[in-house]
Amino acid sequence: MIRYIRWCAYFCALLLVALLVNIARVQVWKSAAYGANPANKRPAIARYAEPRGDILVDGRPVTGSRDSGQLLRYERTYKNGPLYAPVTGFSSQTYGTSFVERAEDGILAGTDPGLSAFPLWYDLTRGRPAGGNAATTVRAGVQLAAYAGLAGKRGAVAAVEPATGKILALVSSPSYDPSVLSGTGTRVKEEWARLNADPARPMLNRALRETYPPGSTFKIVTAAAALDAGVVTDVDAPTETPDPYPLPGTSTLLPNAGTGCQDASMAEAVQWSCNTVMAKIGVRVGLRGMVEAAERFGFNRDGPRVPSWVSRSNFDTDMSQDQLALSSIGQFNTRATPLQMAMVAAAVANGGELKSPYLVERTTQDDGSPVRRGDQRSLGRAMNPATALRMQELMVKVVENGTGKNAAIPGAVVGGKTGTAQHGVGNAGTPYAWFISWAKAEGAPLPAVAVAVVVEDAAADRGDISGNLAAAPIARAVMEAALAAR
Amino acid sequence: MTALTAQVAEPAPPPPPDARAPKRRGVELTLLAGAVLISVLGHLYVGLTTTGRVPRPAAQYAAGLAAAALLAHVAVRLRAPYADPLVLPIAVLLNGLGLVLIQRLDATTPGHLTAGDQLLWSALGVALFVLVVLVLRDHRVLQRYAYLSVTVALLLMLVPVFFPAVNGAHIWIRFAGLSFQPGEFAKILLAVFFAAYLAANRTALALTGRRLFWKLRLLPGRVLGPILAIWLLSVGVLVLERDLGTSLLFFGLFVIMLFTATGRIGWIAIGLLLAAVGAYAVGTFEPHVHSRVDDWMNPFASIERGEGPGQLAQSLFAFGAGGLLGSGLGHGQSFLIGFAAKSDFILATAGEELGLVGLAAILLLYGLLVARGFRAGLALRDPFGRLLATGLASIVALQVFVIAGGVTGLIPLTGMAMPFLAQGGSSVVTNWIIVALLVRLSDSARRPAPQEPPE
């Protein structure tokens, strides 16, 4: 019997070995796969177990964390939620993250390896660093000026610092309070459904993600292309353009909104926004030249990461001459984001060099020690320095004595360009009013700000007047705030 | 005597029995102190991590645990001085760890506190341990009550049929607010009966019977018949009650004890084959079992269907989250497993919060306990004692394997209680009686021959 008892003991030992091998398989070999299973709630619980780091504007947090006592514990709160929503985005237990909340999620949630002082330290201790902070380039005063300017209207404002690419303001109107999306439960789901069903689309970030026909503001690109290509050598020379201008190869006549465009020079054409002259100049530059110029400004590229992605602005690369003529004045298929048009103004103000716009100045640990700095990168040269100087003069004239007088600021050099874009079937929709501009304090070496403003429901009915009436005052307020903030 | 002895100069005086067979009671006391210390520290740690402060009745808890361990130790010292010094400390440590884990799980289910109940049941278990060690002077007495045991066992198993089912199984008796699982006791009684019957009929089983071919001989039906009938009856009742774990345990217990008594490996193989066929049939046609098998084959099927993770999937997630070192007591998310976290799935909490290292340590403790049981069986001289020790050790081993294999996805899940660890009064009490019997058996096994009491 002794022998058989031993065999039984061996059998039990075998069972024990099987158990040990299996738990090693489950706990070591399969551990990562189980952790990555979307039905496993543990990563989400761990993620929200600690307060999230903050997003800073002017060094002050515009976000906060609230202990909900729920399973996914810390919920996001926002100070001035609607004002900063296009910058921060939302951070929701139910719907994930967007914009800076998404782009800097690793830092804010405390999972970024850069937050650890020693490599593998938190892997060893199984702890997690406190969430870090993301300091934005946004200036509170500039943002507030833009938001207040748009109040009650649909539209967007993008403001950048031309020499660095820092985004000083990003506003989209109407906006929403991202804090209603924080947390879980039916209330959050209802708010999400309501925001998505709202015809005003408050969650759309119009400054980065919506493209509009840029209208006459695109004439800045056309003019720069003509100067760079040598198509126009003297900006004050008459261009021998009829008014109205028959589109090449068709019998369609392109009219002007105002008078005095007959045979006008390019300087006058920019100043008074002559469609006929600029369309003709675009055709003379040619498809290839126009496409290359537009692409140097950032069109047809996947939008820059700011660090959120930006919609692609479009300038068609395969067009007939009449289509090219329309495209050269920002109609036809030409579309641009407000940020893209702010970059156009910034390139002019910055002597032709285009800086990549960015929104996160630096990321820090919880205690403020730096993790990463936002890097200033150049996107290359949009135009020659001489062309840029010439363009600055043309844009200043628009504000001093042209279609953009409403943007003038005493004691500062301001250059601008109005625009109105028809849209809708048969141009039935209310035109979009545009204004792009830049401003430099008198005697300052560098421009302070470049701005693009779009107002969707411009009240004025015709022409560039609406750009000057609806959009230019907002741009002026933003530029004033930026000049004051320096 | 003879001249040979006379020639030996001076016969050495017989050495004192203590020197030849060390009692090792001091070792037991030291180990017990360690087990109590670990449990009390665990208790404090859980209190600190889940509520942020030292649990209020910590001193009483520590004193109670120490007193229980000391009482059990004194009983062993008095009536089983040669007992294996490892058995009692392992039981105390496992029971203490179970209390710590249940206390930890209580913190996540504030409406359903069970640590207090478990403490009371543990105290009752220790009291029964003391009682058994004090009253049962010689394990061979049990042999006389073989038929009484089997009658009581069958009655105990039949009674729950008349009580309402809980979670699909008729294995509980609810009485005056307490629920009780009589099948737990039945397994000890059945082990006693099997051991007594097989010991008495061993020769007939081993040597008689018609030869079929080669070495296979038909076991004599006259001897095999009754035991087979009783076994079939008990398994049948359990299947009726849908207590799959226990029926599997009884089947394994029967096969192991029959093998130990007869050494007929061929018949065991045939038995296992038949069992496999039976298990396949039940697994295919019985919906309750079928779903368990499906879960085992693909634990994440419910996730793919969009119904969220099932209990087994949650259990696997918990084990995976524990990894090598675990999240630390109180830092896991065991509540995700659901309602059976304190009973069937308590190992998942151990795996998540103590990690592979802690879980392996717990399994090795069980392994050690089982090994000491087999060791007592090997050292005993009477067949009944040997069979009983083997049977009791196998009960613990099989139970640990079935439940641990189930929650880790090694075998299909069957509801059964992890000895000492899981919340459940009848289970704790029964396991303390098993430990008392093992202490008694190991005492007999290690007792030096001259001291052996007459039959």
Q: What is the residue-averaged pLDDT of chain B?
A: 84
Judge if the upstream peptide bond of residue A214 is cis by omega within 30 degrees of 0: no
From the candidates B333, B347, B349, B384, which should be mutated to test the interface with A, based on the most A CB atoms within 10 A? B333
Amino acid at residue number A185: G
Predicted TM-score of the model (pTM):
0.75
Span between the terminal Cα atoms of chain B, in Å: 28
Closest-CA residue of B relative to A124 is: B325
d(CA B392, CA B396): 7
Question: In terms of pLDDT, which residue wins out, A397 or B74?
Answer: B74
d(CA B119, CA B128): 14
Judge if the upstream peptide bond of residue B453 is cis by omega within 30 degrees of 0: no
Q: What is the pLDDT of residue B4?
A: 43
Closest-CA residue of A relative to B319 is: A27
Q: Which residues contact A280 (CB under 8 A, 6 or more apart)?
A: A239, A241, A245, A325
Question: In terms of pLDDT, which residue wins out, B407 or B164?
Answer: B407
What pLDDT digit, counting tens, does each position of A125-141 carry? 666 788 888 999 999 99
Calculate mean pLDDT across residues B436-455: 79
Chain B touched by A37 (CB under 8 Å): yes
Q: What is the pLDDT of residue A421?
A: 76
| In contact, B450 and B391? CB cutoff 8 Å | no
Q: Which residues contact B23 (CB under 8 A, 6 or more apart)?
A: B81, B82
CA geometry: angle A416, A418, A421, nearest 5 deg: 150
d(CA A203, CA A319): 34
CA geometry: angle A100, A104, A106, nearest 5 deg: 150
Calculate mean pLDDT across residues B312-316: 91
* Cα distances (angstroms) measured from residue A329 to each of A326, A356, A418, A419: 6, 25, 12, 9
Residue linked to tokens 């470049």: A450
Span between the terminal Cα atoms of chain A, in Å: 96
Calculate mean pLDDT across residues A57-68: 89
Angle at which helix B221-241 crosses helix B182-200, to 10 degrees, equals: 170
Calculate mean pLDDT across residues B125-143: 94
Known catalytic residue: A216? yes
d(CA B84, CA B205): 32
Calculate mean pLDDT across residues A35-61: 87
Sorting pLDDT into bands at 50, 70 and 90, what band is A343?
very high
Q: What is the pLDDT of residue A458?
A: 58
b/e code B13-48 from CB counts within 10 Å (16+ = b): eeeeeeeeeebbbeebbebbbebbeebbebbbbbbe
Q: What is the pLDDT of residue B8?
A: 46
In sequence order, what are the beta bridge partners of A78? A63
Sorting pLDDT into bands at 50, 70 and 90, what band is B216?
low
CA count, 13 A, side-chain hemisphere, A341: 37
Q: What is the pLDDT of residue B22?
A: 80
Closest-CA residue of A relative to B299 is: A34
Judge if the upstream peptide bond of residue A244 is cis by omega within 30 degrees of 0: yes
Judge whether residue A270 has pLDDT over 90: no
Calculate mean pLDDT across residues B357-383: 95
Contacting residues of B for A23, CB less than 8 Å apart? 319, 351, 356, 359-360, 363, 404, 408
What pLDDT digit, counting tens, does each position of B331-358 carry? 888 888 877 778 889 999 999 999 999 9
Amino acid at residue number A110: G
Q: What is the pLDDT of residue A420?
A: 81
- B385 CA to chain A: closest CA distance, Å? 12
d(CA A364, CA A372): 7
Pick from A5, A16, A24: CB nearest B386: A5
| In contact, A325 and A280? CB cutoff 8 Å | yes
Judge whether residue A355 has pLDDT over 50: yes
Judge whether residue A461 has pLDDT over 60: no
Q: What is the pLDDT of residue B30?
A: 95
Calculate mean pLDDT across residues A222-228: 90
Chain A touched by B401 (CB under 8 Å): yes
Pick from A5, A12, A34: CB nearest B370: A12
b/e code B224-245 from CB counts within 10 Å (16+ = b): beebeebbeebbebbbebbbbb
d(CA B367, CA B380): 20
What six digits make up the tokens of A138? 């946004």
Which among B101, B21, B35 has a CA at the least distance from the CA of B70? B35
Sorting pLDDT into bands at 50, 70 and 90, what band is B393?
very high
8 Å CB contact of A24 and B303: no
Contacting residues of B for A1, CB less than 8 Å apart? 202, 260-261, 263, 383, 386-387
d(CA B231, CA B242): 16
d(CA B388, CA B390): 5
d(CA B153, CA B189): 6
CA count, 13 A, side-chain hemisphere, B90: 25
Query: If you average pLDDT over each of A418-422, B74-78, B222-226, B306-310, which comes out highest?
Result: B74-78
Query: What is the DSSP annotation of B6-74?
Result: HHSSSPPPPPPHHHHS---HHHHHHHHHHHHHHHHHHHHHHHHHHHSS--TTHHHHHHHHHHHHHHHHH
Contacting residues of B for A18, CB less than 8 Å apart? 401, 405, 410
Sequence-ordered strand ranges (E) for A329-431: 353-355, 360-364, 370-373, 378-381, 412-421
Judge whether residue A17 has pLDDT over 50: yes
CB atoms within 10 A of CB A42: 20
Q: What is the residue-averaged pLDDT of chain A?
A: 86
| In contact, B417 and B404? CB cutoff 8 Å | no
Q: What is the pLDDT of residue A260?
A: 76
Q: Cα torsion for A323, A324, A329, A332, to the nearest 10°?
A: 30
What pLDDT digit, counting tens, does each position of A296-310 carry? 998 888 867 888 888
Helical residues (DSSP H) of A25-170, grouped into ranges:
31-36, 42-47, 81-88, 99-103, 105-109, 121-125, 140-150
d(CA B71, CA B154): 33
Q: What is the pLDDT of residue A230?
A: 86
Question: In terms of pLDDT, which residue wins out, B134 or B112?
Answer: B134
Judge whether residue B278 has pLDDT over 80: no
d(CA B262, CA B268): 10
Q: Which residues contact A484 (CB under 8 A, 6 or more apart)?
A: A141
CA-based R_g, chain B, Å: 24
Calculate mean pLDDT across residues A426-447: 82
Chain A touched by B272 (CB under 8 Å): no
Q: What is the pLDDT of residue B3?
A: 42
Pairing of strands A133-136, A55-57: parallel
Q: What is the pLDDT of residue B210?
A: 62
b/e code B334-353 from CB counts within 10 Å (16+ = b): bebbeebbbbbbbbbbbbbb
Judge whether residue B20 has pLDDT over 60: no
Judge whether residue A169 has pLDDT over 50: yes
Judge whether residue A196 has pLDDT over 80: yes
List, as ranges, residues 316-355 from B with C-beta within 8 Å of A.
Answer: 316-317, 319-325, 327-328, 333, 336, 351, 355
d(CA B231, CA B221): 14
Question: In terms of pLDDT, which residue wins out, A153 or A19?
Answer: A19
Judge whether residue B14 has pLDDT over 70: no
Judge whether residue B405 has pLDDT over 90: yes
Question: In terms of pLDDT, which residue wins out, A8 or B160?
Answer: A8
* Cα distances (angstroms) measured from residue B110 to each of A17, A242, B50, B125: 37, 86, 12, 26
Calculate mean pLDDT across residues B11-35: 75
Calculate mean pLDDT across residues B227-255: 76
Q: Which residues contact B403 (CB under 8 A, 6 or more apart)?
A: B245, B344, B347, B414, B416, B417, B418, B422
Question: In terms of pLDDT, which residue wins out, B243 or A372?
Answer: A372
Q: What is the pLDDT of residue A369?
A: 83
Tell me B81's DSSP state. Answer: T
Which among A377, A391, A308, A306 has a CA at the least distance from the CA of A349? A391
Pick from B323, B333, B377: CB nearest A28: B323
Give chain B's count of helices (H) and strands (E): 18, 4
Judge whether residue B19 has pLDDT over 50: no
Question: In terms of pLDDT, which residue wins out, B6 or A43?
Answer: A43
Sorting pLDDT into bands at 50, 70 and 90, what band is B176?
low
Q: What is the pLDDT of residue B218?
A: 65
d(CA B310, CA B316): 10
d(CA A47, CA A66): 14
d(CA B250, CA B228): 12
Pairing of strands A449-455, A155-160: antiparallel
Reported as type and span, the H/E element at residue B265 is helix B265-285
Question: In terms of pLDDT, which residue wins out, A278 or B20?
Answer: A278
d(CA B314, CA B316): 5
Q: Which residues contact B337 (CB under 8 A, 6 or more apart)?
A: B311, B314, B315, B318, B345, B348, B349
Contacting residues of B for A11, CB less than 8 Å apart? 256
Calculate mean pLDDT across residues A49-66: 89
From the candidates A1, A21, A22, A28, which should be mutated to test the interface with B, based on the most B CB atoms within 10 A? A1
Q: Which residues contact A65 (CB under 8 A, 6 or more apart)?
A: A51, A52, A74, A75, A76, A77
8 Å CB contact of B356 and A7: no
What six digits make up the tokens of B212? 């079929």
Share of chain A above pLDDT 70, in %: 94
Query: If you average pLDDT over each of A164-168, A480-484, B116-120, B369-373, which comes out highest?
Result: B369-373
Sorting pLDDT into bands at 50, 70 and 90, what band is B27?
very high
Q: What is the pLDDT of residue B273?
A: 81
Reported as type and span, the H/E element at residue A136 is strand A133-136
Closest-CA residue of B relative to A19 is: B405
* Cα distances (angstroms) measured from residue B80 to each of B72, B163, B371, B442, B452: 11, 40, 19, 9, 12
